[in-house]
Amino acid sequence: MNQEILLKKRPTGKPSLKDFEFADIEKPKPKDGEILLRTKFVSVDPYLRGRMRDEESYIPPFKVGEPIESGIIAEVVESNNKNFKKGEFVNGMLQWKKFQTSNGNGLNKVDNEKAPLKAYLGVLGLTGMTAYLGLKKIGKIQKGETLLVSGAAGAVGSIVGQIGKIKGCKVVGVAGTDEKIERITEKFGFDEGINYKTTKDMKKAIEKACPDGVDVYFDNVGGEMLDAALPNMNRYGRIINCGAISLYNETETQTGPRVEQYLIKNSLTMQGFIVRDYVKDFGPAQKRLAQWMEEDKLNYLETTVEGFENIPKAFLDLFEGKNKGKMIVVV
């Protein structure tokens, strides 16, 4: 009747299905003040890899033998809480369970008449917030500047590039297949795309695609892409260190060219970006993104996978670049 997905062991290097375990559990009964939730849509995201490590971070690590959690849209199927009605939908950090109870703390109601429910996990959820607030708070992008985006065909990257175009920037995206490059330039309106897998000298390729240099680099991947971007940054350039998917599965500390002389030479800023630091800005950000969607200025792609049993597999596929835009599991 009910089922959950536990972290069986901490992955070494690239996670595999063996790191997860399914367990049959009882369907809980909501106590006074609680609601019973049925999981509808599950967001799987690269950053979850970090929580599988046993180290202090901005969110506590997952515990071995306990359920994993991520962004989830759920339906209220029973309510003993006056703030929630049966049939309403909520969005929040919830556990990978088919059914779970909650006292409602940290949950936001979502309205399936305003936008498709899944959008609240993507463009109107943390994905959209990340793109919008990263560019606004750290990138401080200005009309006429050049914006470089890595992971450009991914959930965050594709929104970053579109916001760059809305703001009047030249936008260059980097992704790993020709199909993705076509997608970002054709569907999402990027000015240019670079396939890093078929490009030998990324530094030169960026230089060619960005003849006026790079003012803002929105980095979702880290590693060698960052190395290639740094020498192309303009004076007072800003680098939004949003993700480092190229390093998440590495088991040893990775080395690369030292960055400090680039920073000093051009008064560059590199800043780590965690969207949860900006919770107070989510309201206006969501409003702005919803407006752009309505005006048809903002498109998004989703890859949906069916079935609760496929959540771990969907998560693993992120590291193979199999998703087109936001990866969502439909339960």
* Chain residues in the site for its own copies (CB under 8 A): 50, 57-58, 219, 222-223, 226, 235, 241-244, 247, 253-274, 277
To the nearest whole angstrom, how small is the minimum distance from the Cβ of residue 242 to its own copies?
7
Question: Do 14 and 251 touch, CB atoms closer than 8 A?
Answer: no
Q: Residue 285 is encoded by which pair of tokens?
A: 């950000």
Q: Residue 73 is encoded by which pair of tokens?
A: 């849209």
- The smaller minimum CB distance to its own copies, of residues 83 and 236, is found at 236
Cα separation of 27 and 117, whole Å?
Answer: 24
- The smaller minimum CB distance to its own copies, of residues 257 and 307, is found at 257
- CB-side neighbour CA atoms (13 Å) of 311: 31
- The smaller minimum CB distance to its own copies, of residues 26 and 56, is found at 56
- The smaller minimum CB distance to its own copies, of residues 50 and 189, is found at 50
To the nearest whole angstrom, how small is the minimum distance from the Cβ of residue 230 to its own copies?
11
Per DSSP, the three-state class of 237 is: strand
Pairing mode of beta strands 2-7, 192-195: unpaired
- How many other CB atoms sit within 10 Å of the CB of residue 176? 19
To the nearest whole angstrom, how small is the minimum distance from the Cβ of residue 9 to its own copies?
22
- The smaller minimum CB distance to its own copies, of residues 229 and 329, is found at 229
Cα separation of 170 and 214, whole Å?
Answer: 9
To the nearest whole angstrom, how small is the minimum distance from the Cβ of residue 201 to its own copies?
15
Q: Would you say the C-alpha torsion 317, 319, 321, 325 has a positive or negative sign?
A: positive
The secondary structure of 158-171, three-state, reads HHHHHHHHHCCCEE
Pairing mode of beta strands 146-150, 170-175: parallel
Strand (E) or helix (H) holding 93: strand 89-95
To the nearest whole angstrom, how small is the minimum distance from the Cβ of residue 236 to its own copies?
8
- The smaller minimum CB distance to its own copies, of residues 41 and 273, is found at 273
- The smaller minimum CB distance to its own copies, of residues 216 and 268, is found at 268
- The smaller minimum CB distance to its own copies, of residues 103 and 234, is found at 234
Cα separation of 56 and 215, whole Å?
Answer: 33
Cα separation of 2 and 331, whole Å?
Answer: 12
Per DSSP, the three-state class of 325 is: strand
To the nearest whole angstrom, how small is the minimum distance from the Cβ of residue 183 to its own copies?
26
Give the residue among 188, 185, 192, 143 at the shortest CA–CA distance from 167. 143
